[in-house]
Amino acid sequence: MPEMGAGKVERFALVDVNSFYVSCERAFDPSLELKPVVVLSNNDGCVVARSNEAKALGIENGDPWFKLAADAKRTGLIQRSSNYELYGDLSSRVMELLGRYSFSQEVYSIDESWLVLRGTPEELVRTGAEIKAAVALHTGLPVCVGIAPTKTLAKFVNRVAKQNPALRGVCSWDTLPSAHAEAIMSRVPVTGIWGIAGRLGKKLNALGIFTIADLKAADPVVMRKKFSVLMQRTIMELNGIPCIPLETEVATKRQLIFSRSFSTPVTTAARMHEVMAIYAQQAAIRLAKDSQQARLITCFAGTSHFNDRAASFPSVAVKLPAPTADPVLLTKAATRAWRAGLWMASRTPAPVSC
Amino acid sequence: MGVMVVSALDLDGLNLQGPLCSPVAVPAGFPSPAQDYFTGRIDLNKHLIRDITCTFLVRVSGHSMDGAGIADGDELVVDRSLTPADGNVVVAIIDGELTVKRLRLEHGRVRLAAENPEYPDVVICELSELSIWGVVTRCLHHV
Ligand SMILES: [Mg+2]
């Protein structure tokens, strides 16, 4: 990103809500503070989110509640059913609030947003702290902020902020002592970096690349030949060269696109149904805001763009009986289209839009 | 008085564009043309909500705030971002529960006052132990 004179820089900030679903539950039920809490999926009662205290008990996502219930009395573990309407509402508040801090925002997932910030490194750390305080004050949700010259590094320092309470939720690549950064990078497995999934990690391990520092030191051109341009970009981004731009939403008079990625792939029909419902409602809100109506809904999904094997990008379109911005009708249409057309087409979809 | 969040007010959703008249003071004495009383539609979202990101609607249960005009079953508009001041009706966190009370900041101590003689006040000795969830800005009273 450009240097701007007078010590000012332009940086990516990644703002990410800590344990989002659990934090949403806590925002309305303070008795859950500091206690081990899990949020369960509505259909099969498996863990979909954990508080740090629940993680410390060794509970994993996907654990069925019936297996945890027996021990819950002893450990003090509390369960809540997922309430996606609530999470969607709090998410839109957070995103709206974050948008006030930047001229350029990319909502990346239900609980993560990219912002572009300008200022001196010290100013940006202060802005990060302001953002964290504002989100806590307005919504009751805790966030961490990572600030860096590239998206990949911003993800990395966001994680550093999460794991080091002394940083009080804000970590900037520019002000993090480089010895400290190097120490973390040579300790954290390469799969801890954005875009390097487990399977890719194994391939890298076979080449002697085990940590983030190993990958950072790899030759990007050689790695491009061995893997893909995505790997080359990740390596360059680790070295401070921005390659992955902000993707702001494209909304013209003729079409409105609502597109999000997930930190973990959506793999069940029930979860996909919930996700489709949230997105259709968000799209309806956007339509109403612009005094527009939809005539046609296209739902599309895709595997992660980091998943260069087994890529799949199915889509299906439905014509609505009459132009509408009614969230109920749009939700029905989107979820029906999804069930009818898409589920059989792709077993491992990731981002969905409508 | 306990509370539950009834609706996390939809960003644009709460469709309350109902009343035809915005509240205008009614002058006594002179007849006025109807236009004086009609200033166009009122958007209740704008009327009730200063900032959509921090405004929540909660429904109260109980009678401890009857004297403040807040009855069992009423909905309150709560702004989480306001700094609570002496005399504000607040949603406070007491023993992990959300509770509606009037905040009284007195020399050296904090009192969360009920407005019904049958209910006790809650006295907090240390200001640092006070936890306020939000400040009540409106009561949607069922008449
Ligand atoms: Mg998160």
**Chain B: residue nearest A32 by CA?**
B96
3-class SS of residue B89: strand
Which chain A residues are within 8 Å of B52, Cβ to Cβ? 93, 96
User: Min CA distance, B4 vs chain A (Å)?
Assistant: 8
Q: Cβ of B54 and A33 within 8 Å?
A: no
Local confidence band at A155 (pLDDT 50, 70, 90 cut-offs): very high
Contacts of A132 (CB under 8 A, 6+ apart): A142, A143, A144, A145, A168, A169, A170
3-class SS of residue B19: coil
Which chain A residues are within 8 Å of B133, Cβ to Cβ? 30, 140
Mean predicted lDDT score pLDDT of chain B: 81
Asked whether the predicted pLDDT for residue A115 surpasses 90, the reply is yes
Q: What is the pLDDT of residue A253?
A: 44
Residue B8 contacts A where some CB pair is shorter than 8 Å = yes
Q: Which of A31, A96, A140 sits opposite B11 (nearest CB)?
A: A96
Q: Cβ of B10 and A89 within 8 Å?
A: yes
Q: Which of A30, A89, A93 sits opposite B93 (nearest CB)?
A: A30
Q: Cβ of A137 and B81 within 8 Å?
A: yes
Helix (H), strand (E), coil (C) string for chain A:
CCECCCCCEEEEEEEEECCHHHHHHHHHCHHHCCCCEEEECCCCCEEEEECHHHHHCCCCCCCEHHHHHHHHHHHCCEEEECCHHHHHHHHHHHHHHHHCCCCCEEEEECCEEEEEEEECHHHHHHHHHHHHHHHHHHHCCCEEEEEECCHHHHHHHHHHHHHCHHHCCEEECCCCCHHHHHHHHCCCEHHHCCCCCHHHHHHHHHCCCCEHHHHHCCCHHHHHHHCCHHHHHHHHHHCCCCCCCCCCCCECCCCECCECCCCCCCCCHHHHHHHHHHHHHHHHHHHHHCCCCEEEEEEEECCCCCCCCCCCCCEEEEEEEEEECCHHHHHHHHHHHHHHHHCCCCCCCCCEEC
Specify the DSSP element, H or E, that contains B106: strand B97-106
Answer for the pair A55, A87: CB distance below 8 angstroms, yes or no: no
- Its pTM surpasses 0.80: no
3-class SS of residue B38: coil
Asked whether the predicted pLDDT for residue A261 surpasses 80, the reply is no
Which chain A residues are within 8 Å of B5, Cβ to Cβ? 28
Answer for the pair B112, B102: CB distance below 8 angstroms, yes or no: yes
| Strands A112-119 vs A78-81: parallel, antiparallel or unpaired | unpaired
Asked whether the predicted pLDDT for residue B17 surpasses 60, the reply is no
Which chain A residues are within 8 Å of B131, Cβ to Cβ? 30
Cα B66 from chain centroid (whole Å): 13
Asked whether the predicted pLDDT for residue A3 surpasses 80, the reply is no
Residue B11 contacts A where some CB pair is shorter than 8 Å = yes
Q: Cβ of B12 and A289 within 8 Å?
A: yes
What phi and psi, each to the nearest 5 degrees, are found at residue A289?
-60, -40
B22 is catalytic: no
Q: What is the pLDDT of residue A215?
A: 97
Question: Looking at this predicted complex, what is its ipTM?
Answer: 0.80
- Nearest-10 Cα torsion for B48, B50, B52, B53: -140
Which domains are seen in chain B, by residue range? 2-10+50-140 (2.10.109.10)
Asked whether the predicted pLDDT for residue B14 surpasses 50, the reply is no
Residue B93 contacts A where some CB pair is shorter than 8 Å = yes
B108-114 average pLDDT score: 90
**Chain B: residue nearest A94 by CA?**
B53
Taking alpha carbons only, the member of A144, A148, A142 closest to residue A172 is A148
B46 is catalytic: no
Amino acid at A318: V
Q: Cβ of B81 and A96 within 8 Å?
A: no
Distance between CA atoms of B117 and B114, rounded to whole angstroms? 8
Q: How far is CA A74 from CA A61, A69, A125, A325, B116, in A?
A: 20, 10, 42, 50, 40
Ranges A88-92, A301-305, B75-79: which has the least confidence: A301-305
Q: How far is CA A322 from CA A61, A231, A284, A300, A340, in A?
A: 42, 46, 15, 21, 20
- Cα of A17 to ligand 1 centre, how many Å? 4
- Tokens for B21, please give them: 């008249």
Which residue of B11, B14, B17 is the best one to mutate when testing the A interface, meaning the one whose CB has the most A CBs within 10 A? B11
Residue B83 contacts A where some CB pair is shorter than 8 Å = no
Distance between CA atoms of A284 and A292, rounded to whole angstroms? 9
User: Min CA distance, B62 vs chain A (Å)?
Assistant: 18
Q: Give me the catalytic one of B81, B101, B128, B131.
A: B101
Q: Cβ of A31 and B96 within 8 Å?
A: yes
Q: Cβ of A137 and B54 within 8 Å?
A: yes
Asked whether the predicted pLDDT for residue A93 surpasses 90, the reply is yes
Contacts of A332 (CB under 8 A, 6+ apart): none
A323-344 average pLDDT score: 70
Distance between CA atoms of A260 and A262, rounded to whole angstroms? 7
Taking alpha carbons only, the member of A254, A281, A251, A253 closest to residue A352 is A281
What phi and psi, each to the nearest 5 degrees, are found at residue A168?
55, 40
The better pLDDT of the pair A177, A313 is held by: A177
| pLDDT tens by residue, A172-231 | 999 999 999 999 999 999 999 999 988 899 999 999 999 999 999 999 999 999 999 999
**DSSP 8-state class, residue B36:** G
Distance between CA atoms of B3 and A84, rounded to whole angstroms? 21
Specify the DSSP element, H or E, that contains B4: strand B2-7
Distance between CA atoms of A318 and A295, rounded to whole angstroms? 9
- Cα of A230 to ligand 1 centre, how many Å? 23
